[in-house]
Amino acid sequence: MALPSDIDNARAERAAVRRQAEESVMVREVNEAVRKEEFSELARRYAVPVGLAILAVLLALGGWLFWRDRQAAAQEAQSEQLVSALDELEGGSPEQAAKELAAIAEDADGVALLSARLAQAGLALRGERRDEALTIYREISADAGAPKPYRDIATIRLAAAEFEDVPPQTIVDRLKPLAVPGNPWFGSAGEMVAMAYLKQNRTDLAGPLLVQIARDDAVPPTLRSRTRQLAGLLGFDAVDEGDLALGGNTPAAAPAAPAPQQD
C-alpha cells in the first residue's frame, strides 16, 4: 500500500514534468516569434536592395542576350555581304567587288574584316597596286589579335608577293615555321622554302623537303605532283620511299644538274 508521502511525491513530479513541458512549449513559441520578427526586420531592411540587385542581374542578362543576338545577326549579314563580293569577283566584276569589300571593311570586325582585307589585297595585286597589297598582308601577318590561320595565310601571300625582291633567307626565316609536316600550310610554305633553298644553291636542303611534300597525303594532289617532278629533276626520288630516307640531306643517286627551266 502506497504511503501518502509517496503519492504526494509522485504528484509533485508529474506537476514538475508538466510545468517543464509547458515552459518548453512556451520557449519554442517565443523563439519562433522572435525569429519571425527578425526575418520580418531583415526583409524590410534588405528587400529593396536585394530586389534591385536581382533586377540589375536580370537586366544585364537580358542586355547580354540582346547583344549576342544582334552580334549574330550582324555577323550573318557581314558573311552574306562577303559572299556577294566574292561572287562579284569570280564573276568578272572587280570594280563592284571592290566597292562591296570596301563597305565590309569599313563596318565589319573580326574574321569578316580580315577576310575582306585579304580579298582587297588580292584585288590590289590583280590591279597592279602591289604596295597596297603588301601593306595589307604585313598588317594582318603582324596582328597578334588576329586568328592564327589568317596571320599564316597573310604571311604566305606576303612571301609569295615579295619572293623575287627579298633575300632567299628572308623567305626561309619567314616560312620555315609553317613548312613542317602536319601544318595546314606545309605544302605551300614548304614549296617556297624549297625554292628559296635553290636560290641559295642548297639542293641538299631543297630536295628532301620537296620529297616530304610530294609524299604527304594531306597536301593537294597538284602540289604533290609538281614537287615530285621538281625533286626528280634535282635527282631525288619522291616516288619510291625505299630510295630516300625522309629528311636526309643526301640523295639516293648522284644528283643531276639542276634544270635551267625551274619555276
Nine-digit cell at 169? Answer: 633567307
Find out whether 163 and 155 touch, Cβ atoms under 8 Å. no
pLDDT at residue 33 greater than cutoff 60: no
- Grade residue 119 by pLDDT with cuts at 50, 70 and 90: confident
Nine-digit cell at 117? Answer: 582585307
**pLDDT (tens digit, 9 = 90+) per residue, 215-255?**
999 999 999 999 999 999 999 998 845 444 444 444 444 34
Q: CA 221 to CA 92: how far, in whole Å?
A: 27
**pLDDT (tens digit, 9 = 90+) per residue, 103-118?**
777 776 678 888 888 8
Tell me if the pTM is above 0.85. Answer: no
- Grade residue 8 by pLDDT with cuts at 50, 70 and 90: low
Nine-digit cell at 181? Answer: 609536316
Q: CA 106 to CA 154: how far, in whole Å?
A: 20
Q: Residue 247 — left, alpha, or beta (φ > 0 → left; ψ -120 to 50 → alpha)?
A: left
The residue-averaged pLDDT of 22-36 equals 54
Q: Supply the pLDDT for residue 99.
A: 78
Find out whether 100 and 81 touch, Cβ atoms under 8 Å. yes
